[in-house]
Structure 1
């Protein structure tokens, strides 16, 4: 679709959409005439969109690249293949951020996903990915949630916290059915939704597909879940640990195809390509932890026996490990990367996962033996290291990772590491409590964003 055709669809406005580093869905709404005039040249956004933290303060204390720091413009270029009717009279289009010289912004999450997808294609592989979105829904409106400081809220559907629980109240089903209807209306394919472990917690599984397209669907699905909650007088959060109970995740499933065949499949178990992919993922898992667990609260999830992985481990059909290998089927053989929290920016998380897979394939990295026992509560000295358990430990691991620095780009790595250290400083100087199970500072900062 050309810009002129897009602008003449009859919409009264077009919404431009993309994420920042934190995974917040950002954009602006433009008139059809404005959209037509800027669809080729791009739309100016201040570089501060990559510089504001979730408290709306500019992050300092680390080196800025040449294009960042003077409130100069970067340019949003819409991908018109993503343009849809969001609601009557309003179209929506996802895009990427580019610099004046025509090169991609090195920090742009969507550009990074595409960069790694293209790198994988250069090796002759196509990736198919899927994501599990977890969120918690509360009865109270967003206004009431804000008035309460996002604490002491009532889980929608009752207090039962057993996974797959069907005895939910009608308002819970009403919310989920409304979300599914909206997904269908905008053309986002979903496969399943269900009750998750914590009270009020849900999981939605999006259909497998191309990495960039799945990330686009992830961003829009979360926006729909928010809008439906607001419309029905409820509120929803993707915070990694919104209450003192269970946290919530965003597991990534990935398989690789070559000439239409799943190269992760082998009749006898993990194929050579799967083993090498696991090897690369484990070689980068400590550094990638910074990307897939981006916030202070992300690390409060890492508790033995509570669901999330806590060790740099892999296993065959072992959900206690960080990487679960699903083997034995020509179509369904895949890897499940179980570290990401619900607060991760999927574009960046998937870029990091693809980087690990690429490194494993290119360097033929062999993994250690799979873990066959429970990977929680493992004693020291068994040869399985624990994942970094604070935002600063993970940032240091990423800073020291030569593989991720090469594949994701030094500019991205240095900027991301600086922003995580800034987040740590804000927590310790602006009211965070490291000894609380969940501090009021975290609720105020992370409940609504990302």
Structure 2
């Protein structure tokens, strides 16, 4: 008999009066429902009904059409929010609130093929089958503004004033007090919610911040990214400010990323460390990187999921533009950081801040799994600046349609992620491209009004 407290006992002990069951859509939007303690207890094992329409509408709440919905889809039938009780935690947004991350399953309890969180779990399982466990940390970039979210909406998200002023550059400590006050409040809220953090800093663009989370297991790392974004939004709104995770909110400012830092272990040892040559990647790291690079074009739409994502990909602006790797080379797509066991890792510099982090990480890891299985040679490291490379260099897809075409032509990444997920994802991305070109998007604009209205608040 287990000595662990029951869910009902935990409710009494924690004085929780409402539970938020939450998951993410394919667009990475946090969605869910609020439950009374009685309702939560009754579904703690089986889950709660959730309309599949949450996976059938786009960011403008329009039904996505023109592609196969798969057997899991009905006529707005219920799927199930299945809680991961290990993630149950107090939520400091409201007194007496707790939240729990959920997977999406069908009536038999089988994970939906299009559930982002379940997809990441499957890929983690592929790594485990090879004998590896991973730890990851995601860098969170966002921009904060002086205006309240209501005022930002009234202005169409244009002509906003970045919090902290427009002087200086990266790492500036002389920002006005309102800037540091807001970031301190975000950090305090993270402490209250049990979200660990290592540090935050002023980033490259005006009003831009980066929050660094510590390494943890792979699934938790993705969950923490989602939870932290929610905390940042809540605190900004409470302070009469607003925040965006758009890949690029202004053509005059640098874009925003979500770099993934990964280490792998096997039998308790860090397999990315080469003890005979500490400054160079191990053979295992090289194979992992080789698979990531080989599948990078196909994985790109998961890393750059919106039309706006590609506004960020500009030579010399920071994001990678080529499918290259290098040792401590931040201009490449994949950066090998080699040294002590504590510091050695692979930094995946591709994802934009608007990603569904569970899918972005799943696609990244799936490439690594292929590299490990097939011992893929990544080729020579790039030892020069990877921006502005001459014609013939392996370029990343420059548009959403190019990235979708690369994924549609792929087979090996699809095999790991699942054909149903990939097919449905391709349908949603083609729909996104179609909506941009038929409902007001402007390809020639630096950042169009259509993008601001669609992405500013929601990604």
Give your verdict on TM over 0.5: yes
In structure 2, what is the equivalent of residue 22 of structure 1? 27
- 1:129 is paired with a residue of what secondary structure? strand
Stretch moving more, 211-220 or 140-149: 211-220
Q: Write the mapping of 1:368-387 to structure 2, written as runs, cut at 5 A.
A: 368-381=379-392, 384-387=393-396
**Conserved in 2, the CA contact under 8 Å of 1:250 and 1:341?**
yes
1:76 corresponding residue in structure 2? 81
Look up the SS of the partner of 1:190 in the other structure. Answer: coil
1:334 aligns with 2:345: yes
Q: What is the correspondence of 1:369-448 to structure 2 with a 5 Å cutoff?
A: 369-381=380-392, 384-448=393-457
> TM-score, length-normalised on structure 1?
0.98
Q: 1:271-308: CA deviations, max 9, x gaps?
A: 11000001000011001110010000000111000000
Which residue does the alignment assign to 1:212? 219
- Matches of 2:238 and 2:391, distance apart in 1: 50
Q: What are the residue-to-residue correspondences of 1:1-16 with 2, within 5 Å?
A: 1-8=5-12, 9-16=14-21
CA positional deviation for 1:368? 1.3
Name the TM-score, length of structure 2 as normaliser.
0.96
1:161/1:198 contact within 8 Å kept: no
3-state SS in 1 of match to 2:373 = helix
Quote the offset at 1:33 in angstroms: 0.4
Structure 2 equivalent of residue 185 of structure 1: 192
Q: 2:44: which partner in 1? A: 39
Q: 1:331: Cα distance to partner?
A: 2.2
Structure 1 distance, partners of 2:257, 2:222, is 15
1:314 equivalent in alignment to 2:325: yes
User: Distance in 2 between the 1:323 and 1:422 partners?
Assistant: 29
Once structures 1 and 2 are overlaid, which stretch shifts more, 227-236 or 12-21?
12-21
List per-residue Cα deviations over 1:384-439 (Å, max 9, x = no partner): 21100111110111111111110000000000011000000000000000000100
Q: How far apart in 1 are the matches of 2:366 and 2:396?
A: 18
Comparing 215-224 with 193-202, greater Cα deviation is found at 215-224
Tell me how large the CA RMSD over aligned residues is. Answer: 1.0
**Residues 1:263 and 2:271 are matched in the alignment:** yes
In 2, Cα distance between equivalents of 1:104 and 1:128: 24
Aligned residue among 113, 120, 128 for 2:120 = 113
Structure 2 stretches of 5 or more lacking a match? none
Preserved contact between residue 12 and residue 90 of structure 1 (Cα < 8 Å):
yes
Q: Distance in 2 between matches of 1:216 and 1:352?
A: 16
Deviation at 1:5, TM superposition (A): 2.6
Structure 2 partner of 1:232: 239
Q: How many residues align?
A: 448
- How far the C-alpha of 1:102 sits from its partner, in A, is 2.0
**Distance in 1 of aligned mates of 2:39 and 2:109:** 21
Counterpart-to-counterpart distance in 2, 1:6 and 1:396: 49
Q: Unpaired segments of 5 or more residues in structure 1?
A: none
Output the CA distance in 2 between the equivalents of 1:62 and 1:91.
37
**Residues in 2 aligned to 1:82 and 1:111: alpha-carbon distance in whole angstroms:** 14
Q: Which moved more, 1:235-244 or 1:324-333?
A: 324-333
